[in-house]
Structure 1
C-alpha cells in the first residue's frame, strides 16, 4: 500500500496549487489566487462581509463527517450570513490551519467542499492562507454584493409586523444528538448536521420584498431572534403551531427520548433565515409566517417565556 503524502511533504505552495488548479472563477473575480491579494468586482460600491471559524472537535468531527462535508459546511455557515443581509455572495477567502502530518488529500477534499458549496451560489474561492496548526481549522471570509439595496440589519423591526422563516430548524440539532448517540438514522437529520442547507436565495428575495430585519439562525431560533428583539427594541412572539414537528425529527426524538420541539426552537446550525416584514407585505416564495413582532423586548413562544436555554452560547 502506497503511503499518502502529508501536508508537510506537499508543502504550502504545493497544497495551494492543488486547491486552485483547474478551478473556474465567476465573472465577479477580476484577479484570483496567485498574487498578494485577489480583486473582486463590487458594482454596488459596497461589500457585505462576514467571517466564521470552524475548529475540529468543536464544530465538526472527521469521524462523523467527510473532509468534503466539512468544507461544504464551512462555506455554508458564511454564505448564509451574507444572504441574511440581503446580499448575493460573490467570493470566499479561506484560512486553513492543519497539522503537518495531515494527509494532503484530506485538505484537498476540504477545498473541494468549499468550492462545491460556493458554486451553488455562483461565488468563487479567490484566495486565502495555509498555516501549520495543532488541529484542523477552517476560517472563511465571505464577500457579497447588495445589488443596490440597503442591507437588511437586525435593527429595523417594528411592533405589528409579521415574523417569518425561510428554511428549517431543528434538523442539525437532531442530527448532532443522533451522532453523539452513535446512530446514523433517521438519515435526514444526520445529513443536516454534516452539511446545512441554508436558503441562500431567500435572503436577497426578502430584501427585495421589503424585509425590515433579518438574521441567520446559527445558534437557535429563539436565541437569534433575541438579537433582532434587542437591536430593534421589539418583542417577538413565535407561534408553536407554525413549527410542526417533521416525521424524521419525531422519529429521532422517540429513539433518543428527546424533545423534538426544543430542537425546533433552540437547535442551531441549520442556518435558516428569520425576518420581519410589514403586516401587508407579500412574502416571497419559501417564506412562511411563524409569529409576530410585539411591543416590549422579549422573545416568547405562544405569548409565554420559554423555559430553558434559548440556544447555543460560546464559552459556556
Structure 2
C-alpha cells in the first residue's frame, strides 16, 4: 500500500532553519543558532514550520508561564537563568508523570529593548534546560510586549504509562527527593537585600527538574502516586491527598531541610521546607518496603537524597503526626497565586 508522505513525514531534518527576511525572523534565527540538532525519531518536524510534529506513545503536555515581577526579577537573575527557570518549571511537570521529554515550545513576549541580546540569552537558558534532560527546542512564538517580559513554556513528552496523583493508599510510605527550602531561603535573602547563600541561590536560579529520577523510579514500579514539589511539600502533598482520597501524615523530624534553610527556629525552617515552593523535587507514595532495595542505587545513580517523610492514612488533608500517631495541623498550605498560600 502506498504511504502519503504528508501523513507520515520523514524524521526532522537537522539542516538550518530557513525563514523569510525581517527583524522578528532575524531574532528567531538567533534563538536557533548553534550546532544543528541531532536527528531524532520523535521529532518529525522541528522549528521553522507553523507546527512542530512529534511522535510518541501517550503524548504528555503541560504549560507553565513565568512573568517578570511575579516569578523573577532582573536584578536577581541573569537572562540565561531566567530562561532556565522558566523551562525547568515546565519540565518538572513531565517529571511529575514520569514522562520522557521530547521538547518544549517557548512563547516569548518581550519589550522592544529586549528584542536583541537579552531575548537571545533568555532563549539560550530555555534551550540549555531542555537539552539537559534530553529534550529539544521545538519552536514557539515571539511577540512584542509593552512590559513586563513574559515566558510561556509548553512541554511535550511521552508517557505510555503515566504516573498519577491518585494511587496512594492508607499505610503506604511518603517519600521525597533532595532537600527542601533552599529556593525559599534564597528568595527571603534577596527580598531583604542580602546576598543569598550560594547553594540556596543555585537552587533558586537553576532548579533541576527530576525528570530522569522520576523515570528511574517509575521503571521499577515504585511510586503508587507521584507529584512534583513546585508549591511546597504541604501544598503538593495536599494534591496527593485529594486525588487519592487519603490523609498525608508528615513526621516533621524526617523532612530533609536544605542546610541554607535551617535556623534555630524549627518552625521557621519547616515553614520554608513545607511552604516556600520552587524546590522542583519529587514527592511520591510507595508500598511499605518498596523503596528499600533501591534506595542506595538511586542515591548513587543521581547523587540525590531520598527520604521517607511520613505515610498515608485514613481521612484527608495534610497533617503532622508524632510517634504515637497523634495528628496536628501543619498550619501551612503552600504557595498560591490568588491568596491563602505561604509567600
**TM-score (normalised: structure 2):** 0.83
1:294 equivalent to 2:308? Answer no
Q: Radius of gyration: which is bigger?
A: 2
- 8 Å CA contact 1:164–1:289 kept in 2: the answer is yes
Partner of 1:102: 114
Q: Any stretches of 5+ residues in structure 1 without a counterpart? A: 1-9
1:69 deviation in Å? 0.1
- 1:46-195 → structure 2 map (5 Å cutoff): 46-133=58-145, 134-146=147-159, 148=160, 150-195=161-206
Relative contact order (alpha carbons < 8 A, sep ≥ 6): 1 or 2 greater? 1
SS class of match (1:101):
helix
SS class of match (2:114):
coil
Distance 1:228 1:257 in 2: 25
How many residue pairs get aligned? The number is: 300
Distance 1:25 1:14 in 2: 19
- 8 Å CA contact 1:167–1:198 kept in 2: the answer is no
1:249 deviation in Å? 2.2
**CA distance change for structure 1 residues 235 and 20 in 2, over 3 Å: closer, same or farther?**
same
1:306 deviation in Å? 3.3
CA-based RMSD of the aligned residues comes to: 1.9
SS class of match (1:315):
coil
SS class of match (1:201):
helix
**Higher deviation after alignment, 105-114 or 188-197:** 188-197
SS class of match (1:231):
helix
**CA distance change for structure 1 residues 244 and 219 in 2, over 3 Å: closer, same or farther?**
closer
Partner of 2:6: none
**Higher deviation after alignment, 183-192 or 164-173:** 183-192
Distance 2:337 2:274 in 1: 18
Partner of 1:196: 207
Partner of 1:228: 240
Moved >6 Å (runs of 4+) = none
1:30 deviation in Å? 2.1
- 8 Å CA contact 2:180–2:258 kept in 1: the answer is no
**Post-superposition CA distance 1:54-112 (Å, at most 9, x none):** 00000000110001001110111111110110111111001000112225111000111
**Higher deviation after alignment, 104-113 or 198-207:** 198-207
Partner of 2:9: none
Distance 1:47 1:60 in 2: 30
1:41 deviation in Å? 2.5
**Higher deviation after alignment, 156-165 or 180-189:** 180-189
1:34 equivalent to 2:48? Answer yes
